[in-house]
Amino acid sequence: MPEPRDSRAGQPPTLRDVAEHAGVSAMTASRVLRDDPRVLPATRDRVRAAATALGYRPNQVARSLRLGRGTGLVGLVVTNLANPFYSRLALGVDSVVVADGLKTVIGNTGQDLDGERDLVADLVGRRVDGIIAVPAGSDQRHLAAAAADGVPVVLASRPPDGFDADCVLVDDFGGARDATARLLSRGHRRVGFLGSPPAVYTGTERLRGYTAALADAGLPADTRLVRQGQTEPAEAERAAARLLALPDPPTALFCSNNRNTIGAFRAIRATGTDTALAGFDDFELADALGLPLTLVTYDSDELGRTAGRLLMERVRERRGEGAVPDGGSVAAHQRVVMPTGLVEYGR
């Protein structure tokens, strides 16, 4: 396999190298490589031959700069790619985005709020075509700033706060209420709650759903049974264990996400009680745990795909914009809500 290089060694060939090699001007080479029809077939073939001979790859950086558009990149801002929820989201986003010839840049913040701010600024500086974010905290000013800079922003599983943007949400409230109601319909009267820190939108929304179900059943909310703040299964397991060790322990638990459900499962199995368990998010092997389990499900791939589609709409919109006088948004921002369902495992 000969390594073809005409020009300076080590440097990738440029359009000019191709042009010289083919005995034409850079302009003609450019036309050929972008399939401009106004080129003589003969020269076209010569240029193509030169390009393959040199192993020419158009420099997309230069192209982006010249075209003035974005870089064909979409920034995806999440807290933890190792959480299956986020990796599926990423996959869904990427599948849509790739279909339009773009690529996804991942930004994993690991819950670091400052890091998230820097990350978004960096993505804007990189001239991404758009940003899809699941903000970690409640402060969204960095996203508002990006949007103000003209970068399309789509939020996933959290609504925009303090600015306007498209978003895809899950029916957090309804799903949590339904799951809790299911527990109550089985006779449980003391139902505990385990969830993420209060700053997380989905967590509080799901707590609201849980509380609403209790209220519907005429039950008071017992704050001693509510534990917020667990992000990882190990923390959730400890929190659940403490609930189960209460003098008057709950007979059922509702968890606001898969991390907490898994932790609660471990605690229940460890203590050997027959506490009923329900949670938000389906997860692999949930059916194989040997415990009855009620889960709130939704199409998490579709969540990502929808986010991707919403973003691509805006991206296309921006590309088409010739000279909008005031720069106002062309179409109203959308808010898509994904429905949830309940599934019963292990019974």
Partner DNA sequence: CTGTTAGCGCGTTCAT
Partner DNA sequence: ATGAACGCGCTAACAG
Residues that bind a second copy (CB under 8 A): 1, 3, 9-12, 55, 57-62, 64-65, 71-73, 80-82, 84, 87-88, 90-91, 94-95, 98, 103-108, 121-127, 141, 144-145, 148-150, 262, 265-266, 269, 284-285, 288-290, 321, 324, 326-327
The neighbour count for residue 186, using CB atoms within 10 Å, is 12
Binding site partner of 122, from DNA, a second copy, none, Cβ cut-off 5-8 A by kind? a second copy
CA proximity to 268, closest of 291, 297, 247: 291
CA proximity to 168, closest of 300, 328, 20: 300
Question: Does residue 63 belong to the site contacting DNA (CB under 7 A)?
Answer: yes
d(Cα 84, Cα 130) in Å, to the nearest integer?
23
Site for DNA in 33-62 (CB under 7 A): 33-34, 38-40, 42-44, 58-59, 62
Complex with DNA: residue 14 or 231, whichever CB lies closer: 14
Name beta bridge partners: 120: none
Q: How far is the CB of 71 from DNA (least distance, A)?
A: 13
Strands 293-297 and 341-345: antiparallel
255 burial via Cβ count (<10 Å: 0-12, 13-18, 19+): buried
Give the residue, chosen from 3, 10, 35, 66, that forms a contact with DNA under the rule CB under 7 A: 66
Complex with DNA: residue 31 or 227, whichever CB lies closer: 31
Two tokens, residue 52:
């393959």
d(Cα 276, Cα 272) in Å, to the nearest integer?
12
Complex with a second copy: residue 57 or 189, whichever CB lies closer: 57
Give the residue, chosen from 21, 31, 177, 227, that forms a contact with DNA under the rule CB under 7 A: 31
Binding site partner of 136, from a second copy, DNA, none, Cβ cut-off 5-8 A by kind? none
